[in-house]
Each structure stands twice: as structure tokens, then as C-alpha cells.
Structure 1
Amino acid sequence: MTIDAHQHFWHYDPVRDSWITDDMAVIQRDFLPEDLEPVLVQNGIDGCVAVQADQSLAETQFLVQMAQTYDIVKGVVGWVDLTAPDLRDQLSELAQYPELKGFRHVAQAEPNDFLARPAIVAGIRQLAEFGFTYDILIYPNQLKAALHLVREVPEVSFVVDHIAKPYVKTGEITRWSNFMTQLAAQPNVQCKLSGLVTEADWQNWSKRDFFPYLNVLFDRFGPDRLMFGSDWPVCLVAANYTQVKTLIEEYVDPWGSDVRDKIFGANAVSFYRL
């Protein structure tokens, strides 16, 4: 089964979705499974993992409903308040939905130490009891906190979204590489090959802009802990779906069909229990 491990759905709300700025006007509209399905078919992808974009339980319920309604949606990464006093009760209730695989918070919008805060670490630790995963969404200057988190909670399976958003546009790589090397040394951490084009020059990126970063990831994580994600529809500000998929396909191709099958499906199926 081929899987896109990272994409989003929403009914566009200009107030709630204020992060979609005017320079991202191409995605200032609704994006739903019926919009994605023909794109997946065209690109030979069997299904996807829908990831939260809003910090609300309503978002989690919306995505679960999408997964229950559309066969292409194989799993959901939702949102829950990790500091809620009744977190365990909420997780117990949410665990009734087999479509719900894990959780994420838009930590990139939080202070640099957010993921290392004791209350957040304690909340994420509770995910282990229910077998939930955690997606890490950060910028490079938040990698130190992420490293602290994954070391503190070895019982939870983590995946780094968008390769931690390195500064591709300026070519900075050393500090990012050092931290990603340390993250990769933790056996409970995987990484999504997603969100690359939006960290480059949207209008003038080249495939070779990303190769140094991909080289680091394949060397440190290896092909068993990496998974393809399109970040559709956010990717549309810089590239269409086929361009995003082809970028990773062409890099992976020399590794052979076994590795390609892992990156484009098997690893995501295993991590998210699809």
C-alpha cells in the first residue's frame, strides 16, 4: 500500500486560519478528501494520513469523520490539550476511534522551549498507555527542546514533521544536521520527508537544493525510519503534488524498489498502524 503520510483538510475560515497569509492565496479555500482523491489516483498513492492544522478537539473530530467517510483517509493525527487536568480521560475516550493514530501541536508557533516544558513532557508521556504516536512540528531553533522530549519519553513513538523545517532558502545546514544526528540516535524517532518545498524559494527552487538535507537524513535515519509526505495542500504555494512526489522519488530511485516501497508506504503503515 502506498501512503502519503502527511496532508491536511479544512473548511477555510479566514479568522481561524489566519496563518494562511495573502502570499498563500492559492490555499485560501476549502480542501477536502474529494479534492485530494483524484490527485492521489493520478500519482499512484493508495491513501493518506490526515494531520491537524487547528488546535481544537473539533479539529480532531472533523478529521476522524473524514477518515470514517472516505476510504483514502487511512489514519488521523489529531490535537488534544496535553496540559488538561483530565487528559487521561480524554485520551481514553478518543482511543475508541481506531482511525485516530496520534497527536500533534503546532509547536513551531510556540516558544523554543515548549516541547521541553515539564507539563508538555508529562502529557506526551500519557500517550504511551493508549499506543498513540506524536508528530513533532518545529523549526531548527526548537530542536534542542525536541531532543530533550524524545529522550525523556522513550516509550512514545515520535516522527519529525517536515524534516524540522531547515533553512533551505539560505542553505544553512550545520546546526540542523548536528541536532538531527542526535535525534536519529534515538530509536523511538522517525522523520517525514515532507514540507521541503515550502522552506525553499517558492518560485525558484531546484531539486538539488534539497539533496544535502536528504543526504543527512538517509545517512542518519536510514531508509527504515523515513516516510514520504506531500504536505498537500500547503505544498501548493511552491509546487504541485506531482512535483513534490517526484522530488523524493528521484532521490530514492537509486536505492532500489525495496527502499522506495518503505519510503512510500511500508514505514508509514508500520508507524501509524494503518
Structure 2
Amino acid sequence: MRIDAHQHFWHFDPEKYSWISDKKIQKDFLPSDIKPLLKNANFEGTILVQADQSEEETQFLLNLAAENDFVKGVIGWVDLNSEEIEASLARFSEKLFKGVRHTVYDEKGEFMTDPAFQSGVSKLANFDLIYEILVFPYQLPGALALAEKFPEQKFVLDHLAKPDFSKAPSEQWKQDIQKLAANKNVFCKISGLLSETGKDWNPSDFSPFLDVVVKSFGMERLMFGSDWPVSLSGGSYEEIVKIVEDYFSIYSEEDLKKVMGITAGDFYKIS
């Protein structure tokens, strides 16, 4: 099974999605837009990920997932700081609801060590839910503290923690990735490559970063995610798939299959 482990849908609203600055993607993106791309790339399914911090969007995504069988799971948003967190998780508790993500564009990494937030994270395991870690490199220490605090909780790091792909990997990023990966409950998505770079990129730009995550996480804890349609800011769907498949072409066919779907299928419990 080939799974794109990270993509988005939205009805574009300039206030709700104020973080979308590229006019190219300031429009609606819905299942009919990605379906032919998945077919051409031989993907059988996707994991749909939140892009707005609202329970309204979470329900919107679950509704789309129920209507489109290629969507194999939804990572939504709930307020993990809320005293009503268990009620929220119970309300969304269904087969397609796989986990929770919190966007951190305007926050410091300390929020992950806040007792109220950690209390919310502690409830996820009761519902067999994943927490997706979306951070910038400087926030990785907070992610590490969170992963160490909950060794039985399943985590996955999105977008390699958004390093600057236009430069060589920093020593600090390497060290923090290695420390995070030392926690076996943490997986990593090879996602966000074209979302985090400019238009003038070369496939070789990403290799030093992929070398680090392969060495740190191993083949058993890596999974491909396109980050479509955000990735359209840097290139086409076909280009992002090719970057990853070409990089892993030096590995075994079985390793490539793991990265392109088997690991995601197991991680998200896709039948």
C-alpha cells in the first residue's frame, strides 16, 4: 500500500488561513483536486491533516474523509489546554480520527512543557490517538521534553522540524533530531520539503537532511508526506514524489515501500 501521509484540504478564507501567503494556493483545495494526482503516482490513500486551529475544521475534514475512501485518516485539532479535552476527544472518537496536531507559528517551544498542555496530551493514549509534532528547529528541545515525558504516546515529527533547506544542516538541528529520534515512540515524516524552500531548488539540496533522518530514525520510522497543496509553492506533486523516490532508490525496494506507505499504514492503523 502506498500512502501519502500528509496533505490538506480547505475552503480558503483569508482570515482563517492568514498563514497562507503564496497567492498560488490562496484558493479552495478539495478531494477532486488531489484524486488524479494520487492515481498518477499510484497512491492508494492519504492522511488528511489540519490547517486551522478549530474544531469546526476538524469536523469538516472528518466529513470529507467519510465521503472519500482514499482518505484513510484525519489528524485534527482540539484544544489540548481545555479542561473539557476528554469530552472533545470523545466527540470526535471514530475510526477515521487518528490524532491531533497543534500549529506553533507564533509560539515558543515552552508550550509543550506547560502542565495544562501536557495534561491534554496525557489523554490521547486513552483514545489511541497520535500527536503530530509541528515545530521549528529552535522548538525541538520542547518536543524532546514532551516525547520523554510520555514514552508510551505515539508521536510523529512533521516536516523534519522545518529546517532551512537552502543551507547545510546546522549542527544544532542534527543533534536535536538525533536526541528526538532516540525515543522509539517518535516517528518522522519526510514532508514539507518543497513547502520550506524557494523556487530555485535542486534535489541534492535535500539529501544532507534526509541523510540525517535516515541515520537517526532508521527505515522503520520514516514515512513520505507531500504536504500538498502547501508544497505547490515550491513545485508540483510529481516533483515532490520524485525527490523522495530518487533519494531512496539507492536503498532496497523493501525500504522504499516502507517509506512510501507500509510504515504509515502500520502507524495510522490503516486496514
Report the secondary structure of 1:53's partner residue. Answer: coil
CA contact under 8 A between 2:194 and 2:232: conserved in structure 1?
Answer: no
Is 1:233 aligned to residue 229 of structure 2?
yes
Aligned to 1:56: 54
- State the percentage of identical aligned residues: 43
Aligned to 1:175: 172
Q: CA deviation at 1:112?
A: 2.6
Tell me which stretches of 4 or more aligned residues in structure 1 moved more than 6 Å.
none
Q: CA deviation at 1:18?
A: 1.0
Aligned to 2:65: 67
Mapped to 2, the partners of 1:132 and 1:112 lie a distance apart of 22
CA contact under 8 A between 1:108 and 1:142: conserved in structure 2?
Answer: no
Aligned to 1:36: 34
Unpaired runs of 5+ residues, structure 2, are none
Report the secondary structure of 1:108's partner residue. Answer: coil
Aligned to 2:207: 211
Is 1:94 aligned to residue 86 of structure 2?
no
Is 1:195 aligned to residue 192 of structure 2?
yes
Q: CA deviation at 1:109?
A: 2.9
Aligned to 1:246: 242
Mapped to 2, the partners of 1:75 and 1:69 lie a distance apart of 12
Aligned to 1:110: 107
Aligned to 2:149: 152
Mapped to 1, the partners of 2:109 and 2:87 lie a distance apart of 29
Mapped to 1, the partners of 2:37 and 2:120 lie a distance apart of 36
Match of 1:127 among 124, 129, 133: 124
Q: CA deviation at 1:172?
A: 3.9
CA contact under 8 A between 2:109 and 2:143: conserved in structure 1?
Answer: no
Report the secondary structure of 1:134's partner residue. Answer: strand
Q: CA deviation at 1:120?
A: 1.1
CA contact under 8 A between 2:219 and 2:259: conserved in structure 1?
Answer: yes
Mapped to 2, the partners of 1:199 and 1:32 lie a distance apart of 22
C-alpha distance after superposition, 1:250-269 (max 9, x if no partner): 01111111011100111111
CA contact under 8 A between 1:11 and 1:31: conserved in structure 2?
Answer: yes
Mapped to 2, the partners of 1:120 and 1:209 lie a distance apart of 36
Q: CA deviation at 1:229?
A: 0.1
Report the secondary structure of 2:146's partner residue. Answer: helix
Mapped to 2, the partners of 1:170 and 1:108 lie a distance apart of 21
TM, length-normalised to structure 2: 0.97
Mapped to 2, the partners of 1:41 and 1:153 lie a distance apart of 38
Unpaired runs of 5+ residues, structure 1, are none
Aligned to 1:20: 20
C-alpha distance after superposition, 1:172-192 (max 9, x if no partner): 421111000001100100000
AA aligned to 1:70 is N
CA contact under 8 A between 2:169 and 2:209: conserved in structure 1?
Answer: no
Q: CA deviation at 1:90?
A: 1.7
Aligned to 2:133: 136
Mapped to 1, the partners of 2:244 and 2:105 lie a distance apart of 24
Q: CA deviation at 1:31?
A: 0.2
C-alpha distance after superposition, 1:107-140 (max 9, x if no partner): 2331231212111111111101110001000000
Is 1:269 aligned to residue 236 of structure 2?
no
* Cα RMSD after superposing both structures: 0.9
Report the secondary structure of 1:170's partner residue. Answer: coil
Report the secondary structure of 1:107's partner residue. Answer: coil
